[in-house]
Structure 1
Amino acid sequence: MARNKKTRKKIDPVLDKSGRKSDLRADAKDRVGRSGKSGRGKRGAKASSGARRSGALRRFLAVAARRSLYWGFVIGLWGAIGLAGLMAYYAAKMPSATTWAVPERPPNVKILSTDGGTLANRGATGGEALTLASMSPYIPQAVIAIEDRRFYSHFGVDPIGLARAMVSNLMAGGMVQGGSTLTQQLAKNLFLSPERTIERKAQEVMLAFWLEQKFTKDQILEMYLNRVYFGSGAYGVEAASRRYFKKSARDVNLAQAALLAGLLKAPSRLSPARDPDAAEARAQLVLEAMREEDFVTDREITTAMTQAPTRARSYWSGSENYAADLVMERLEDILDGKIEQDLIVDTTIDHRLQRHGEAVIQEAIAREGEKRNVTQGALVSIDGAGAIRALIGGFDYTVSQFNRASTARRQPGSAFKPFVYVAAMEMGRTPETVRNDTPVRIGKWTPSNYDDEYRGPVTLSEALTKSLNTIAAQLVMEAGPRHVVKTAHRMGIESRLEANASIALGTSEVTLTELTAAYAPFMNGGYKATPHIIRRVRTASGKVLFENTYDNPPRVLRPQIVGMMNSMLMRVVSEGTGRRAALGRRDAAGKTGTTQSFRDALFIGYTANLTTGVWFGNDDGTPTKKVTGGTMPAEAWRGFMTAAHEGVAMARLPVGYSVSGADSVATPATRPEDNIPSPAISTEQTGSTNRRLPPASVGGGNASGGGQTTLLEILLGQ
């Protein structure tokens, strides 16, 4: 029996009128999520969409990264090719590398005092070159820490440092950090101009490569530190150290080394002579950099940071610079202006005496300058051979570098009278010769005494003691103005003198140095003392180029004249116008000088050891407030000579002479130019009894005498 089965019909998909199959997806109204009964469908859709977007972003970034790397590589390659081509182009414009050579450092002149200490350095650099081992170790450490930390690891150019500098500058929106290495900076300083161009930078890089191949790292660093500019006219660490700290670069401490290294960023702006606060702030950054590099410990940093900021003068300071300037003037004459290598000049300057001289001039003006209308002073002290032991050219070298001791010409006033009296003594006069102090008329000139009083008959000794003008005028006319001029020139005056009657009162201008030197024959027994400051010139290797020859000076005064003049000039100090210069029991002699309207005041005096001249006045010639040679100058002279003779044994001046009898007036026929032996006379010819050489123990240093040698060697201890 057949079962009745239900027939199943095949259902085909129904096409719409366009022929497409019907969409089997649920309508929007059939979706549960739409009804609000469930959010599962909505979240799923969102997740799916987010995943698709995230995936697309990742694919985009991956593609972008690959393309960036590719194009970066391509651009970098072409950039390298272009840079290489640019370098090759500029290299082709440069001379062959085989001809490159480091230029010689400008020569330096090291000027030494008698004790071997450095008075000053002169030259384009202002300081000698030091080896890396001889300078303070803090200096190279500080410079490397702040300027080029990878100095010992890079090959002349530091790509890491350059990249860091570029980033820092981009972030700051300006130039705040440089990317040049020390080697590049040295190349620029040695070979290139300071202009900022692509060509110069390319040349700098090539030269840096060459320096790294040619020299060791230490040699490069040494050259850099000896040539780089540290501001205020100082090139090299030695010049900078002496400029700012008045000490050698061998001796600078950590704080000072940090200050020097900090100057390299902007030497002129950061100089402690211009802005000490800015210099100190920069030094603090250097110290931090040194700590980061483990060059110094925290304790050292703390100590350095507690030190007072450096305050430097705006110019090279110290009176020794007056002496150094004079050395350079004389050196040009000695070497015909050709200074082609480093030189060492041994001078006659005693550093201790120089400091004493500077102190007395500055103290006198500080104490009385304002109330006495005195703004300037000068001092020069020489020994019996003419060696300048101290030279103070003005109140403050920082303010004025004009040398009033060796360059300025002033009227000496009555300080010129000893030459008049010498001429008279050579004509037969003696200290006991009598003349009448009364008004005198010589042509239209009528000289009067300082106090406008007249004393009648006086001896020449009394006249000089009281500085009577009328007597000096009479003696000039008796001896003759020309003979007085010849006498002064013979004794050491070099300036042109007018041979007229008024020369009796010192109306012709002279320098303080030549006037002082012309007094020296009184103290050394009658021998000319040619003033000189250079003892020896030698190269850095020790080769002697020059040595002075003032060891056999000519006799310019007879011993009898020396004795008579000393007896009178000692009386000037003991009871006359120069009383304030008295040195107690020590023999001292000298003469005051005051010019018209009190414009200049001088005292030139001497002991058996030193002859010293002091001047006070004003550069513009304005009158002082009645300052005479017996006031400020005599007091300053006594202060200096007291300090100079500390610990020095007493030595007597030659004063013995014999009086022939009553005054006898010489006639023109008996008026020789002089009765002095030939300038070539030897020590043996003159005899030791007539040659009273000054002891050479004043001032210390190399000035201790001894032995049967030349005069200069006795005086300078050679």
Structure 2
Amino acid sequence: MAQRGSRRAASTSRKQNAKPVRRKPTGWRLWLRRVFVWGGFLSLLGVLFLGLAVVFAARSLPSYQELKATQNAQTIIVRARDGTEIVELGPSFGKWLTSDEIPQVMKDAMISVEDRRYHSHFGVDPIGLGRAVFVAATGDKRLGATSTITQQLARNVFLNSNRTLDRKLREAVLAMALEWKFSKNQILELYLNKVYFGGGAYGIDSASRKFFSHPGTELDTAEAAIIAGLVKAPSRYSPTADVQAAVDRAQVVLRLMKEQGRIDPSITVDPSAVKLKEDKSQNSVRYFTDWALPQLDLLLPETFEPIEVWTTLDVGMQQTAAASIKSNTPNNAQGALVSLDRDGAILAMIGGTDYVETNYNRAADAVRQPGSSWKLFVYLAALEAGYTPEDMVKDVPVTIDGWSPRNSGGAYAGDINLRTAFAYSKNTVAAQLGNEVGFGTVASMAKRFGITTPISTVPSMVLGSNETRVIDMTRAFAAVSAGGKSIEPYGIVKVTTASGELLYQHEKSGGSTLVPDYVAAGITDLLQTAVNTGTGKAAQIGRPVAGKTGTTSSNKDGWFIGFSSGITTGVWMGRDDAKAVPGLQGGRAPAQAFAAFMRYAVKDRPVEQFNTELKLPEWQLEPDDEFYFGDPDDYYYIDEQGNLIEPGAGRDPNNPVPQPNGQATPGDVSRRPQVPENDAPPAASDDFLNRATGEGSAAAPAQNRPKPAQRVPSPPPQQQPAPRTNPAAPVN
């Protein structure tokens, strides 16, 4: 018993003297410990790498003087055709203001709205960044409002504006490098002299001169608030684009300045009382410059020095064009105008009723249905196929491939001549003509005259169902005015450096022949009649005018395009959403706008009469007269395989001799091309068909006279017979 008691006492003594054993952490405690240890290690490593990146970035930064000298873009002065300056585009840097010259109220306004902790952070604002991350995590999931003034400077000078994580990280490194190398006053001075305020203005001095017509050293509190509010969105808050938006934004800046104690809360400041400078760069001229200046990328070698661009624009015509469109365009609609000189020089271009409201250029970019103005190409094809303005056609109901066009008003005139059908824009006649010459032929004619948009050859295309641009349609009518010669619109005459060195000079070209002279004369005859007595009477200006109206279904589009004294002008009106405009017709508002503009445009030009005399080629003369011009063996001709056959070569005396336009020799109609029959009657009258085929002619024996047939198109231009070798025959 004594031994057991002794052993028990010894065991108790050992337990009391034994050290407690520590248990190793397990489960979540183990992972928490690892995260803490590794997180601290990685954070330390990241700080080390960040510090090294900042040091290396700071060492590679340009000097302060080098940063002051850098410019961000190119200055472009645009001049009118008379040399007067119409607008200055690109950056304007104004005078560099030192930190001491910048008004303190300007500094306070910018810091209040863009970076309230500017004087306390090291280039990146941890508090602002943390708040932005929290908002992104609980709100719209987008990280925003995290850039300090220093970060914005780094982005503006060294980086682009892509919203990517990589760019944000480099921006942060560069911002800290800037803070490492330069003082707060230097950074703020660089920022206020380089930040973009819209309208090409970089820096507060340029912005002050642009918006308030005085240097940046004279900015007061209200003006400083307006300028500081522009940085967030220069185009949205520009006082020249939206005064109310600029004032509302300035009120936000003033409220922040009061909350942060930068101005006395008792001070009342009224930004709406600020007197703004009129901004000529936001007027209608910008429609033209927006179209013309991108062409410099193709015309000039890469250069960043200031340049002067001399253009074709006439200032007086541009102002008149803007007034004529704005005063004649129906409410809730838009209007566009393009005016070309006889060589293709653009004299005026209006892309809308108000450039500030919308800078979309409807003259050069919008595609709309041209309505009956498209009939220009239908009648050009018909005239080239052999019709003349005097030829009789039938204005009657017609159906082509299940399509039944109707005339405006639903009336039909019966037998009328081609001139009258065009003047009164008879849809049924245009449909028949298009069907006879071929819808593909009409499409080819439109392409020939400069239409660049896709063209469908469904029957309704003859009435303008294909969409096109105002500038293309105006170009086509200008080619008619030029006697059938091609016209290439251009807006830039020359480009020089600021010192006068010539970088580019426009070279005039003669233009290629699109249609023969007699076709151009015939279509001019029709266009002149349309203005004199037809649908375009509202376009009369007291001197010869030729033109055509166009109206689409439900009055969605209204057009008038015409020319006088060498100037061709196209006008379009309609809504951007293609909804109907009550009362809109090409012969009303568009024609009236055309007349209002053209009266001014041609006032200093001599009155010019149109050449409408048709000197028809041999192949278009009546067969009985044509026969007396010589032996048919004197003709060159194209065989069915497209080969050129010389006079008298390879002729079989037993076979009839092919004649121009697919005619056979008198007494043989076997080679006359035939048009596949459909349910559409020919546009030509019986009288015209009789004359065209020799029916009733004394020179053609009765037994050899061909029977009347549907009128067929002439051969394509490249297949017209070559000049006859007989010197007595006229040249084709």
Whether the TM-score (by the shorter chain) exceeds 0.5 is: yes
Contact 2:102–2:217 (CA under 8 A) maintained in structure 1:
no
- 2:717 is paired with a residue whose SS is coil
- The answer to whether the aligner puts 1:416 opposite 2:371 as a matched pair is no
CA gap of 1:230–1:210, structure 2 versus 1, over 3 A, is closer
Percentage of matched positions with identical amino acids? 32
Contact 1:262–1:279 (CA under 8 A) maintained in structure 2:
yes
Contact 1:438–1:454 (CA under 8 A) maintained in structure 2:
yes
Shift of 1:351: 2.2
2:594 corresponds in structure 1 to 637
- 1:95 is paired with a residue whose SS is helix
Q: Select which of 305, 311, 335 maps to 1:347.
A: 311
1:387 corresponds in structure 2 to 345
- The answer to whether the aligner puts 1:575 opposite 2:543 as a matched pair is no
- The answer to whether the aligner puts 1:321 opposite 2:286 as a matched pair is yes
Counterpart AA for 1:327: A
Shift of 1:117: 3.8
Contact 2:333–2:574 (CA under 8 A) maintained in structure 1:
yes
Q: Give CA-to-partner distance per residue, 1:440-485, whole Å, 9 cap, x none.
A: 1111111111111110111110111100011111111222222212
Matched ranges for 1:230-629 at <5 A: 230=197, 234-236=201-203, 240=207, 244=211, 263=226, 265-268=228-231, 272=239, 273=243, 274-276=245-247, 309-311=274-276, 317-334=282-299, 340-365=304-329, 368-369=330-331, 374-584=332-542, 586-629=543-586
Shift of 1:514: 0.2
How many angstroms apart in 1 are the aligned matches of 2:200 and 2:363? 26
- 2:399 is paired with a residue whose SS is coil
Contact 1:428–1:665 (CA under 8 A) maintained in structure 2:
no
Contact 1:526–1:558 (CA under 8 A) maintained in structure 2:
yes
CA gap of 1:265–1:473, structure 2 versus 1, over 3 A, is closer
Shift of 1:670: 4.0
How many angstroms apart in 1 are the aligned matches of 2:203 and 2:88? 12
1:108 corresponds in structure 2 to 75
1:57 corresponds in structure 2 to none
CA gap of 1:600–1:644, structure 2 versus 1, over 3 A, is same
Shift of 1:127: 3.1
- The answer to whether the aligner puts 1:127 opposite 2:85 as a matched pair is no
Matched ranges for 1:47-62 at <5 A: none
Contact 2:99–2:185 (CA under 8 A) maintained in structure 1:
no
Counterpart AA for 1:229: Y
Shift of 1:657: 2.8
Contact 2:437–2:713 (CA under 8 A) maintained in structure 1:
no
How many angstroms apart in 2 are the aligned matches of 1:142 and 1:350? 45
Contact 1:276–1:310 (CA under 8 A) maintained in structure 2:
no
Between structure 1 and structure 2, the one with the greater Rg is 1
CA gap of 1:497–1:231, structure 2 versus 1, over 3 A, is closer
Counterpart AA for 1:326: W
1:673 corresponds in structure 2 to 717
Counterpart AA for 2:575: N
- 1:377 is paired with a residue whose SS is strand
Counterpart AA for 1:203: L
Q: Give CA-to-partner distance per residue, 1:248-267, whole Å, 9 cap, x none.
A: x7x98998999866655554
How many angstroms apart in 2 are the aligned matches of 1:142 and 1:633? 58
1:203 corresponds in structure 2 to 178
How many angstroms apart in 1 are the aligned matches of 2:173 and 2:383? 81
Q: Give CA-to-partner distance per residue, 1:636-677, whole Å, 9 cap, x none.
A: 111111122233332333333347678465975842236899
How many angstroms apart in 2 are the aligned matches of 1:334 and 1:260? 41
> Quick check: 538-547 or 605-614, which moved more?
538-547
Shift of 1:361: 1.5
How many angstroms apart in 2 are the aligned matches of 1:481 and 1:202? 69
> Quick check: 545-554 or 327-336, which moved more?
327-336
- The answer to whether the aligner puts 1:94 opposite 2:61 as a matched pair is no
Contact 1:184–1:208 (CA under 8 A) maintained in structure 2:
no
- The answer to whether the aligner puts 1:227 opposite 2:194 as a matched pair is yes
Counterpart AA for 1:434: M
How many angstroms apart in 2 are the aligned matches of 1:363 and 1:633? 11
Contact 2:106–2:228 (CA under 8 A) maintained in structure 1:
no
> Quick check: 493-502 or 455-464, which moved more?
493-502
Contact 1:483–1:673 (CA under 8 A) maintained in structure 2:
no
2:607 corresponds in structure 1 to 650
CA gap of 1:545–1:629, structure 2 versus 1, over 3 A, is same
CA gap of 1:494–1:90, structure 2 versus 1, over 3 A, is closer
Counterpart AA for 2:337: L
How many angstroms apart in 2 are the aligned matches of 1:420 and 1:242? 56
How many angstroms apart in 1 are the aligned matches of 2:238 and 2:208? 12
- Residues paired across the two proteins, number: 516
Q: Give CA-to-partner distance per residue, 1:325-367, whole Å, 9 cap, x none.
A: 212443345469x6644443332222222211111111123xx
Q: CA RMSD in A?
A: 4.7
How many angstroms apart in 1 are the aligned matches of 2:503 and 2:566? 30
- 2:474 is paired with a residue whose SS is helix
Q: Give CA-to-partner distance per residue, 1:184-220, whole Å, 9 cap, x none.
A: 99999656999999995883584469999xxxxxxx9
Matched ranges for 1:141-220 at <5 A: 144-146=102-104, 190=157, 200=175, 203-204=178-179, 206-207=181-182
How many angstroms apart in 2 are the aligned matches of 1:491 and 1:429? 19
Contact 1:229–1:264 (CA under 8 A) maintained in structure 2:
no
Contact 1:414–1:506 (CA under 8 A) maintained in structure 2:
yes
1:174 corresponds in structure 2 to none
- 1:94 is paired with a residue whose SS is helix
Shift of 1:438: 0.6
Tell me, which stretches of 5 or more residues in structure 2 are unaligned? 1-50, 108-118, 121-148, 160-166, 255-269, 623-686, 694-710, 723-732
CA gap of 1:493–1:231, structure 2 versus 1, over 3 A, is closer
> Quick check: 230-239 or 476-485, which moved more?
230-239
Contact 1:526–1:555 (CA under 8 A) maintained in structure 2:
yes
How many angstroms apart in 2 are the aligned matches of 1:198 and 1:493? 54
Counterpart AA for 2:196: Y
Counterpart AA for 1:115: D
CA gap of 1:674–1:92, structure 2 versus 1, over 3 A, is closer
How many angstroms apart in 2 are the aligned matches of 1:89 and 1:595? 65
1:216 corresponds in structure 2 to none
